[in-house]
Amino acid sequence: MNEGEDEGLDTKNNSSYHYVALTTDIKNGSSMSFSIKTEREKVTQIAVFNVDGKYYAISNLCAHKGGPLSKGLLQGDVVTCPWHGWKYSVKTGRSPHEGGDSVNSYPVKIINGKIYVNSIPSHIGKSIFQPHQDYLNLKESVDQYLIHKSNDSILPVDDKKIRILGISTTNANDKIAPRQSTSEDALTFALEYAKKKLNAETVMIKLRELEFSHCEGYYSKNANACIFPCSISERDSEDQMIQIYEKVILWADIVVIATPIRWGSASSLYYKMIQRMNCVQNQMITNDRYLIRDKVAAFIITGGQDNIQHVAGELMSYWSQLGFIFGKFPFVGWTRGWYAEDMENNYDKMISSLSANTHNTKEYRNHDMYSDLAKTIKGAFKIALLVKQNRYDQNVFA
C-alpha cells in the first residue's frame, strides 16, 4: 500500500501533490508519463509505474540523453531506458549497479483510486558516469574544431597542406589467404600519386583491420537517440570507429573510398562503416551541427563485372548527405563487363592498365586506369584547395 492510501488528501498540507491519473489507468507492469508543475511554474516530466499494484514516480527523462523512461521495459521494479539501456529502480530512481547515474524519484499518494505525485523529489538524481578517455578526447576535439571552423577567418599555415585519407573497404582476409585486391591497389596507387605529384599528406585505413560493432539502429528509436560521438563508442572503449570519426571529421581534407563491387553494391564492410556514421549526418537534423567542413570525397570502384554507375550513385548520395562535395571526375571505376568470368585475370589486367602510361601508345594512355585515377585525384585535390582557401562551407552557412 502506498503512503497515504485510503486517507483523504489534505490539500492544505499537500499543496505540492498533483493529481495525475486513476489507478485503473496504469495496469500492473506498465507506466505512463505526465507533466507536473514544480515551484516557479517549472514543468517537469515524470513517469509513474505500477509494480504489483503499488505506484512509483521517477523522472521520465533518462539521465544519459533524456530517453523516455515511461517507454522502457519494466522488469520487477527496474526499468530499462529504451534508448541505450541504462537501468533505474522505479522505487528510488537509483541505478541498480554501482557508479550508475540516478534520476529524481517522487513520493506518491493514492487517494480513493486517484494517483497524486509530489513535485518535491524524495531523491535528487546524480550524474556520475564518465565516458572513457578516447571518447571524451574525440568529443572535445570535435567541439574545438567546430569553433575553429566557424570563427577563424585566417587559415593557419599548416592548413594549406592537403591531407588525403584513403579508406579501403575490401574484406579480403589476409590472415587466411593473402592476395591482391584491385580496389586496394588502385587506392594505394592513388595515394602514392597524390603524395609524389601533388605533395599531399596521405594515410590509408584498411577497414578490415579495425574492430568495431555494427550500428544498432538507435536512430530507429528516436532521432535524438542517435548521438555523436556514437553511443556504441561511448559504451565500448575498444571501439575503433573512433579512428574513422577522428580521421574523417578532424584530419582529412579529402576522403577517398575504395570498394569492390559485391553483387552490384559496395562491400559489406563499407556499409558497416557508413551505418555507424549515421550519427555524423544526424547531428544536422537533431542539433543543427555540421561536422563535415570544407571536405571533398572521391571514390574508387572495382569489380570483375558491371555496376560501377549504381555503386557510384549510392556512394555519392551518401557522402553528399554527410556534407562532402566533389571535384571533377569524382569516381573512377574498373570492371571488365558482364561476360568477364575469368576473375583470376582481373587483378593482372587492372595492374597492366595502371602501368599502361609507360607504353607510348597515345590512344591507350587516354583511357587507362592510370590516367583515370590521376584525373580523379587531381580533381579532388584542386577542389579541396579551393574549398579550404575560400572557406566554402562557412560561406554557405553564413
Per CB under 6 A, residues contacting ligand FES are 62, 64-67, 81, 83-86
Could you tell me if 51 and 74 are in contact, meaning their C-beta atoms sit under 8 angstroms apart? yes
Residue placing its CB nearer to ligand FES in the complex, 18 or 84: 84
Give SS3 for 328. coil
Residue placing its CB nearer to ligand FES in the complex, 86 or 116: 86
Which residues does 200 contact at the CB level (< 8 Å), separation at least 6? Answer: 161, 162, 163, 164, 194, 254, 381
Residue placing its CB nearer to ligand FES in the complex, 87 or 336: 87
Residue placing its CB nearer to ligand FES in the complex, 66 or 131: 66
Could you tell me if 72 and 125 are in contact, meaning their C-beta atoms sit under 8 angstroms apart? no
Three-point CA angle 249, 373, 308, nearest 5°: 85
Q: Which grid cell sits at 168?
A: 579501403
Residue placing its CB nearer to ligand FES in the complex, 67 or 93: 67
Q: Minimum distance between the CB of residue 79 and ligand FES, rounded to whole angstroms?
A: 10
Residue placing its CB nearer to ligand FES in the complex, 65 or 336: 65
Residue placing its CB nearer to ligand FES in the complex, 71 or 310: 71
Task: Pinpoint the alpha helices (H) of the chain.
Answer: 133-151, 182-198, 218-221, 231-235, 241-245, 268-276, 278-287, 308-322, 346-354, 362-365, 369-389, 392-397
Q: Minimum distance between the CB of residue 238 and ligand FES, rounded to whole angstroms?
A: 20
Q: Minimum distance between the CB of residue 136 and ligand FES, rounded to whole angstroms?
A: 17
Q: Minimum distance between the CB of residue 64 and ligand FES, rounded to whole angstroms?
A: 3
Q: Minimum distance between the CB of residue 142 and ligand FES, rounded to whole angstroms?
A: 19
Residue placing its CB nearer to ligand FES in the complex, 224 or 240: 224
Q: Minimum distance between the CB of residue 317 and ligand FES, rounded to whole angstroms?
A: 30
Residue placing its CB nearer to ligand FES in the complex, 86 or 318: 86
How far, in Å, CA of 252 to CA of 296, rounded? 9
Q: Minimum distance between the CB of residue 290 and ligand FES, rounded to whole angstroms?
A: 24
Q: Minimum distance between the CB of residue 221 and ligand FES, rounded to whole angstroms?
A: 9
Q: Minimum distance between the CB of residue 65 and ligand FES, rounded to whole angstroms?
A: 4
Residue placing its CB nearer to ligand FES in the complex, 60 or 169: 60
Could you tell me if 196 and 182 are in contact, meaning their C-beta atoms sit under 8 angstroms apart? no
Give SS3 for 97. coil
Cα–Cα distances in angstroms (integers) from residue 147 to residues 94, 143, 312, 394, in the given order: 36, 6, 33, 12
How far, in Å, CA of 267 to CA of 366, rounded? 29
Contacts of 89-92 with CB under 8 Å at 24 or more apart are 90/31, 90/47, 90/49, 90/51, 90/56, 90/58, 91/51, 91/56, 92/123
Could you tell me if 59 and 117 are in contact, meaning their C-beta atoms sit under 8 angstroms apart? no
Q: Minimum distance between the CB of residue 69 and ligand FES, rounded to whole angstroms?
A: 8
Contacts of 121-129 with CB under 8 Å at 24 or more apart are 121/93, 123/92, 123/93, 123/94, 125/59, 125/63, 125/93, 125/101, 126/101, 126/102, 127/63, 127/101, 128/99, 128/100, 128/101, 129/63, 129/64, 129/99, 129/100, 129/101
* H or E stretch covering 248: none
